[in-house]
Amino acid sequence: MEKFTVHTGSAVPLRHSNVDTDQIIPAVYLKRVARTGFEDGLFAAWRANDPAFVLNKPEFAEGSILIADTDFGTGSSREHAVWALQDYGFKAVLAPRFGDIFRGNALKGGLLAVVLPYEVIERLWEAVEADPATQVTVDLQAREVRAGDIVQQFELDDYTRWRLMEGLDDIALTLRHTDDVDAFEKQRHAWLPVTQ
Amino acid sequence: MARTMAEKVWEEHVVRRADGEPDLLYIDLHLVHEVTSPQAFEGLRLAGRPVRRPDLTIATEDHNVPTENILGPIADKVSRTQIDTLRKNASDFGVRLFPMGDLDQGIVHVVGPQLGLTQPGMTVVCGDSHTSTHGAFGALAFGIGTSQVEHVLATQTLPMPPFKTMAVTVDGSLPEGVTAKDIILAVIAEIGTGGGQGYVIEYRGQAVRELSMEARMTICNMSIEAGARAGMIAPDETTFDYVQGRPHAPRGADWDAAVEHWKSLRTDEGAAFDKEVVLDAAELSPFVTWGTNPGQGAQLDSAVPAPEDFADPAEHAAAEKALAYMDLDAGTRLRDIEVDTVFLGSCTNGRIEDLRAAAEVIKGRKVADGVRMLVVPGSMRVKEQANAEGLGEVFTAAGAEWREAGCSMCLGMNPDQLQPGERSASTSNRNFEGRQGKGGRTHLVSPLVAAATAVRGTLSSPADL
């Protein structure tokens, strides 16, 4: 996983609450078995049918930070939603609230999902809509989002921050504690089911 | 200190706890299907890692499965590749798989409970958000992403952030004709699609106690539609009766020890929840959705709301967008909405009791002209049972299509899809834009409402027949 410390780039304002993962990537794109190449599925229905959709506007073509609305990424657990955003070029998503599984998936895979107060999101939308070239900085080191005169701290637990900044693989971290898992398994209830 | 059921089950599964780190939880059962697993197995292969506990892992084919001609090759090449990939992965890594044609094949959340693999007090995960279904047994069951699927395959554990607890209490008894689906749709409309975010919900109260196991699964299944991490119901005699005798249930002295333990899992008297919601069962009636998220629902007796009815600007805007997508006018009586498709099935409502309830309504009647009704059992065992009870004949005699087991029209990954502009009454769990097929419009309903709607051609309850 790529290390994440500070990212600066232009942003895409998505004024649409309750964007479920079926909208981020429709089910038909989930049939693939590869891990990359999901960018064509990102917001596929809206990109195809709505010329006014923000990603269809050339001034937002270069955006690498998505400024989303409340309850972004609700619904299906598909991690393809995170992959599609990353494959399209997004490094971070900012929103007042996220679907739980989506946020977990994003932070596992190195897409920084940052919770910001609604008022700050609104100010960011306004800044970016007024000037699409506005540079937004997501600073994981300082746990801060900056754009023009907007400076906003955000919360992220120390462990996740450390893991993202080091670009560490969660599985490798857990495998350091195999002894604990071995010990736990010895005291599980005897009646618990096995599948084979 | 008094503890909730969720806290007890969590504590029992902590493998490692360290300051500043998420708890590392042991996973008792890992359910796998073809859609969210290929990249996880590939990750193992690249890292040279085995599956730590294939004996706590089980796989089935469900999302891509065509519900007709299941023994023939899948026509869609991409779907076929995904199924073939699961078969190869299961074989390479020693995971037991129920492929199409196997009597134990079906939707992953129907298969686990019916085999007795889902039991009280367990931790259950699956790369599928409707894993919350298994909480009906008093298990702590989470939907996870593909990276986590790989993590569980490799380590049989998951680092999990802490959760909050919510009690949803449904007091009193349900009126005649009101079902578990109506309860959960009403709960989601009440707390919103984000209201459960970060919470494990425990459903309690007399109306919940009086529900069968399958009805409890319907409720827990849709916890994720309220944004919750999981949903749970305390195990009781109803639970024990359901589990006992199933192929993977404990037997003899093990059974007694297990039941003894399961009884201790109930939330202690005086335990505090972070949030509490109370509903009065007597005030519930058949509930349907009118919009494009499961929180946009209303009593069938009411009318399509106007965006102005919502004071919150975000809800106002969401209602406006939803009405445009659904092609509905504010003020239209929900009972006047015509559908062209009825879907009875899914991990929410594809179990034998759901089929019985719908068959009871539709028996001796006909599906309305111009309406297509798909009846899709949740598993091949459900189909077998339904046929033994003559339910398949009831559906076909009424003019419905009686299919093979799979996720079917719940999501557009297999041939069962809505065409653009088509409108369904569906017993599934999501009415998102395009969920049942590009441009399709979905009204979520209970099996009773689905059956009555099929007969009348407009959203209806059995009382309308």
Mutation pick from B9, B15, B89, B150 vs chain A, by most beta carbons of A within 10 Å, is B15
Contacts B28 to A, Cβ<8 Å: 188, 192-193
Greatest alpha-carbon pair distance for chain A in Å reads 64
10 Å Cβ neighbour count for B42? 17
Contacts B127 to A, Cβ<8 Å: 77, 79
What is the chain A residue with the closest CA to B436? A27
**pLDDT reported for residue A2:** 86
**pLDDT reported for residue A144:** 98
Q: How many CA atoms lie within 13 A of B60 on its CB side?
A: 26
Using CB atoms, pick whichever of B16, B151, B411 lies closest to residue A171: B151
ipTM: 0.94
**pLDDT reported for residue B104:** 97
* Phi-psi group of A81: left, alpha or beta (phi > 0 → left; psi -120 to 50 → alpha; rest → beta): alpha
**pLDDT reported for residue B72:** 83
**pLDDT reported for residue B453:** 98
**pLDDT reported for residue A1:** 83
* Gap between the Cα atoms of B344 and B355, Å rounded: 8
Any idea what the CATH number is for the domain that residue A19 is in? Answer: 3.20.19.10
Residue that the structure tokens 């023994």 belong to:
B71
**pLDDT reported for residue B70:** 85
Q: Any known ligand binding at B220?
A: no
* Beta carbons of B78 and A75 less than 8 Å apart: no
- The residues in B 10-29 lying below 8 A from A, measured between CB atoms, are 15-16, 20-22, 24, 26, 28-29
Give the pLDDT of chain B (465 residues) as one tens digit per residue. 899 999 999 999 999 999 999 999 999 999 999 999 999 999 999 999 999 999 999 999 999 999 998 888 899 999 999 999 999 999 999 999 999 999 999 999 999 999 999 999 999 999 999 999 999 999 999 999 999 999 999 999 999 999 999 999 999 999 999 999 999 999 999 999 999 999 999 999 999 999 999 999 999 999 999 999 999 999 999 999 999 999 999 999 999 999 999 999 999 999 999 999 999 999 999 999 999 999 999 999 999 999 999 999 889 999 999 999 999 999 999 999 999 999 999 999 999 999 999 999 999 999 999 999 999 999 999 999 999 999 999 999 999 999 999 999 999 899 999 999 999 999 999 999 999 999 999 999 999 999 999 999 999 999 999
Structure tokens at B61: 């084919």
Question: Would you call B146 an interface residue with chain A, using a CB distance cutoff of 8 Å?
Answer: yes
In a 10 Å sphere around its CB, with 0-12 CB exposed, 13-18 middle and 19+ buried, how is residue B388 labelled?
exposed
- The residues in B 158-217 lying below 8 A from A, measured between CB atoms, are 159, 161, 193-194, 197-198
Q: What's at B244, amino acid-wise?
A: Q
Spell B290-309 as b/e; 16+ CB within 10 A means b: bbbbbbbbbbbeebbbebee
* Beta carbons of B145 and A16 less than 8 Å apart: no
Same fold flag, B5-160 and B289-464: yes
Using CB atoms, pick whichever of B79, B96, B147 lies closest to residue A196: B96
- The domain in which residue A108 lies consists of 6-168
CA angle A179/B15/B57 to nearest 5° reads 90
* Gap between the Cα atoms of B302 and B304, Å rounded: 7
Q: Could you tell me if B413 and B407 are in contact, meaning their C-beta atoms sit under 8 angstroms apart?
A: yes
Contacts A23 to B, Cβ<8 Å: 432-434
* Beta carbons of A196 and B35 less than 8 Å apart: no
- The residues in B 418-437 lying below 8 A from A, measured between CB atoms, are 430, 432-435
Question: Would you call B40 an interface residue with chain A, using a CB distance cutoff of 8 Å?
Answer: no
Extents of the domains making up chain B: 5-160, 164-283, 289-464
10 Å Cβ neighbour count for B45? 12
Q: What is the third-level CATH fold of B164-283?
A: Aconitase; Domain 2 (3.40.1060)
* Beta carbons of B412 and A28 less than 8 Å apart: yes
Mapped onto helix, strand or coil, the DSSP state of residue B96 is strand
Q: What is the third-level CATH fold of B289-464?
A: Aconitase; domain 3 (3.30.499)
* Gap between the Cα atoms of B231 and B166, Å rounded: 9
Q: Which helix H or strand E contains B114, and what residues bound it?
A: helix B108-114
| pLDDT single digits (tens) B106-162 | 999 999 999 999 999 999 999 999 999 999 999 999 999 999 999 999 999 999 999
Using H for helix, E for strand and C for coil, what is the string for A124-153?
Answer: HHHHHHHCCCCCEEEECCCCEEEECCEEEE
Structure tokens at A178: 């195999």
Contacts A174 to B, Cβ<8 Å: 24, 151, 154-155, 157, 159
Q: Mean pLDDT of residues grouped by 10 in chain A (196 residues)?
A: 94 96 96 94 96 96 96 96 98 97 95 98 98 98 97 96 93 96 97 96
* Gap between the Cα atoms of A134 and A124, Å rounded: 9
* Gap between the Cα atoms of B218 and B350, Å rounded: 9
> What average pLDDT is seen over chain B?
97
Q: Which helix H or strand E contains B447, and what residues bound it?
A: helix B447-456
Using CB atoms, pick whichever of B56, B145, B434 lies closest to residue A108: B145
Nearest CA-CA partner of B414 in B443, B381, B374 = B374
From the options 3.40.50.300, 3.30.499.10, 2.40.30.260, 3.40.30.10, give the CATH code of B5-160.
Answer: 3.30.499.10
Question: Would you call A144 an interface residue with chain B, using a CB distance cutoff of 8 Å?
Answer: no
Domain count, chain A: 1
- The residues in A 20-49 lying below 8 A from B, measured between CB atoms, are 20, 22-23, 26-28, 30-35, 45
Q: Could you tell me if B135 and B232 are in contact, meaning their C-beta atoms sit under 8 angstroms apart?
A: yes
10 Å Cβ neighbour count for B365? 17
Q: Which helix H or strand E contains B362, and what residues bound it?
A: helix B352-362
**pLDDT reported for residue B176:** 95
Question: Would you call A191 an interface residue with chain B, using a CB distance cutoff of 8 Å?
Answer: yes
Question: Would you call A190 an interface residue with chain B, using a CB distance cutoff of 8 Å?
Answer: yes
Mutation pick from A28, A118, A121, A163 vs chain B, by most beta carbons of B within 10 Å, is A28
Q: Any known ligand binding at B410?
A: yes
Mutation pick from B10, B155, B346, B417 vs chain A, by most beta carbons of A within 10 Å, is B155
* Beta carbons of A100 and B117 less than 8 Å apart: no
* Beta carbons of B56 and A195 less than 8 Å apart: yes
Q: What is the DSSP string of chain A?
A: ----SEEEE-EEE---S--BHHHHS-GGGGG---SS--GGGTTHHHHHH-TTSGGGSGGGTT--EEE--SSBTBS---THHHHHHHHHT--EEEES-B-HHHHHHHHHHT-EEEE--HHHHHHHHHHHHH-TT--EEEETTTTEEEETTEEEE----HHHHHHHHHT--HHHHHHTTHHHHHHHHHTS-TT-----
Nearest CA-CA partner of B292 in B184, B128, B143, B444 = B444
For strands A136-139 and A144-147, give the pairing: antiparallel
Question: Would you call A103 an interface residue with chain B, using a CB distance cutoff of 8 Å?
Answer: no
Nearest CA-CA partner of A98 in A153, A151, A155 = A155
* Gap between the Cα atoms of B382 and B72, Å rounded: 21
* Beta carbons of A18 and B193 less than 8 Å apart: yes
pTM: 0.96
Phi, psi angles (nearest 5°) of residue B400: -85, 160
Mutation pick from A31, A43, A119, A175 vs chain B, by most beta carbons of B within 10 Å, is A31
**pLDDT reported for residue B341:** 98
